[in-house]
Amino acid sequence: MMDTHKPTPSKDEIEIKFRAIKRAMVMIQLLIAAVIIFQLYMYCMPQWKAYRQRQTEREAIAQRQQEEKAQQKAFDALWKGSLGDSTLISSQDWALIQYGRELVSNTAYYLGPRGKVMPITNGMNCQNCHLEAGTRPWGNNYGAVASTYPKYRARSGGVEDLSKRVNDCMERSLNGKALDKDSKEMRAFIAYIEHLGRDVEKGKKPEGSGIYELELPATALDTAAGETVYQAKCASCHQADGQGLKAEDGVVYTYPPLWGEHSYNQGAGLYRMSRFAGYVRYNMPQGASFLYPQLTDEEAWNLAGFVNSQPRPGLDLSADWPKIEEKPFDHPFGPYADPFSESQHKYGPYGPIKAFYKKNKK
Ligand code: HEC
Ligand code: HEC
C-alpha cells in the first residue's frame, strides 16, 4: 500500500527553510539599518558640513588676525619722527626747528615761484616727497639723515654735509637754485632734520627710514601697463596730463605734478626707477600706507616706467658719478663701466646688470 501521507520533511529540509527565513530576516534588518543610516546621513551631513565651514572660517579669521598682528608689530617697530619735548630745547633753537618744519611742509609759500622769502624753486613742497614733514615710516622720511651725514656720496664722489644734500633736492627735486649755506632757511632745514634724528645712533639706519627697497622685477618694465594703472589710480589727482593741480591760491599744489616743466628734473632721486617704485608702493594713491598698501610691486615698477618716460626738465649731469663704476644700476645715463645700454639701465631687466657687478667685484 502506498503511503498517502505527505512525507514528513526531513531534518535537512527544515534546516534549509529555517536558514532562508533567517537570511530574509537579516536582509530586512540590513535594509532597515541602511534606511536608518541613510536618514542619519542625510540629517547629519549638512550639519557636519556647516560645522566644518564654520571651523575653516574661524581658522581663516584667526590667521588673518595673526597676520594683521604681525604686520602691526612690524609697523610699530618702524621709525617715526616726532618733535618731542620742546622744554628740553632753548626757545631760540626751538623756533628754528619749527621754521624748518614749516619750510619742509609749505616750501612753496617761502621758496616757490611766488614765495615770500625768494622765488627759487618749482612750486613743490619738500613734503610732497618727504611725507608728513619727513616723519612717515617708509614715506621717504629723514630717519637716517642725522645719523649718517656728513657722508661719502658716490653721486658727487666726495664727502657731503647736510647742507649739500638739502641743496641737491633744491636743485633737482625742486628743479631750483641752491640756498646759501649760512641762510636762515638752510640753518632751519638742518636744525629740523637733525632734531628729528636726535635719538638715532650714529651710523645707524633705523628700519622704516627713507624709501622701501622693493625686490627687482625679473623682466623689463612695462610702460604701457604702467599707463593703464596711472589712468585708473593716479590721474584723478595728478591729472591725466601729469601736471598736477594748484590750490585756489595759485601758490601751492593740492596735487603736485608728476611730469612736465614744474616737476622734478632728470637729476632727481625719483627719476631713478627704484626710488620712484619704492616710494609709491607704500604711499600712493594718497591714503595708502605700509599697513594698507594699494599697489602691487609690479604696478609700482610699471608706474615708475611710465611716469619717468614722460617729459621733464633736464640738468647738466656731467659732474655726477665721477667714478662711473659707482653709478647705481638704475641710473639712466652713461657712460658705464659695464656693457649694458642706457635703456636697459633705465627700464631693466636689471638682474644681468646686478650680476655683472657682483661677478666683477671679486
Ligand atoms: C620730487 C620729490 C622730492 C622733493 C620735492 C624733495 N626731495 Fe629730498 N629726496 C627725494 C628723494 C627721492 C631722495 C633720495 C632718497 C633715497 O635715495 O632713498 C631725497 C633725499 C633727501 C635727503 C637725504 C635723505 C637720506 O636719507 O639720505 C634729504 C636731507 C632731503 N632729500 C631733503 C629735502 C628737502 C629739504 C627738500 C625741500 C627743499 C626736499 N628734499 C625735496 C625726493 C624729493
Ligand atoms: C587722492 C589723490 C591722489 C592720488 C589718487 C594719487 N596721489 Fe600721488 N600725491 C598726492 C598728494 C596730495 C601728494 C603730495 C603729498 C603731500 O604733500 O603730503 C602726492 C605725491 C606724489 C608723488 C611725489 C611728489 C611728486 O609730485 O613727484 C608721487 C611720485 C606720486 N604722488 C605718485 C602717485 C602715483 C604713481 C599715483 C597712482 C598710483 C598717485 N600718486 C595717486 C595725491 C594723490
The full set of domain ranges for the chain reads 84-210
For ligand 1, pick from 110, 129, 165, 274 the residue to mutate: most ligand atoms within 8 Å of CB: 129
For ligand 2, the distance from its centroid to the CA atom of residue 256, given in whole angstroms, is: 7
Ligand nearest to C-alpha 124: 1
- Per-residue model confidence (pLDDT) at position 5: 72
Whole-angstrom Cα distance, residue 177 to residue 200?
30
Q: Which pLDDT score is estimated for 11?
A: 87
141 lines ligand 1 (CB under 6 A): no
Contact (CB, 8 A) for 262 and 124: yes
Q: What is the CA radius of gyration of the chain?
A: 36
Q: Tell the residue nearest (CA) to atom 29 of ligand 1.
A: 166
**What is the spatial distance between Cα 263 and Cα 122, in angstroms, rounded to a whole number?**
7
Instruction: Determine if ligand 2 sits within 6 Å of the CB of residue 260.
Output: no
Distance 239 CA to ligand 2 centre (A): 10
Q: What SS3 state is found at 262?
A: coil
DSSP string for 264-276:
--TTSGGGSHHHH
C-alpha grid cell, residue 121: 624753486
> Could you tell me if the CB of 130 is within 6 A of ligand 1?
yes
Class of domain 84-210: mainly alpha
* pLDDT the model gives residue 97: 97
Cα separation, 188 vs 97, in Å, equals: 6
DSSP 231: H
Q: What is the mean pLDDT of each run of 10 residues along the chain (362 residues)?
A: 70 91 95 94 92 95 94 94 89 96 98 97 98 98 97 94 97 98 98 96 96 98 98 98 95 97 98 98 96 96 98 95 96 96 98 94 72
Q: Which amino acid, one-letter code, is at 290?
A: F
Strands, DSSP E only, in 213-341? 245-246, 253-255
Q: Which ligand is nearest to the CA of 191?
A: 1
Reported as half-sphere exposure (CB side, CA atoms, 13 A), residue 350 has a value of: 19
DSSP structure class, residue 271 = G
From the CA of 122, the nearest ligand is: 1
Q: What is the pLDDT of residue 1?
A: 57
* C-alpha 115 chain-centroid distance: 33
The pLDDT value recorded for residue 362 is 62
Task: Please say whether the beta carbons of 159 and 150 come within 8 A.
Answer: yes
pLDDT at position 72, please? 92
Q: What span, in angstroms and rounded, lies between the C-alpha atoms of 330 and 353?
A: 9
Q: Three cell numbers at 254?
A: 593740492
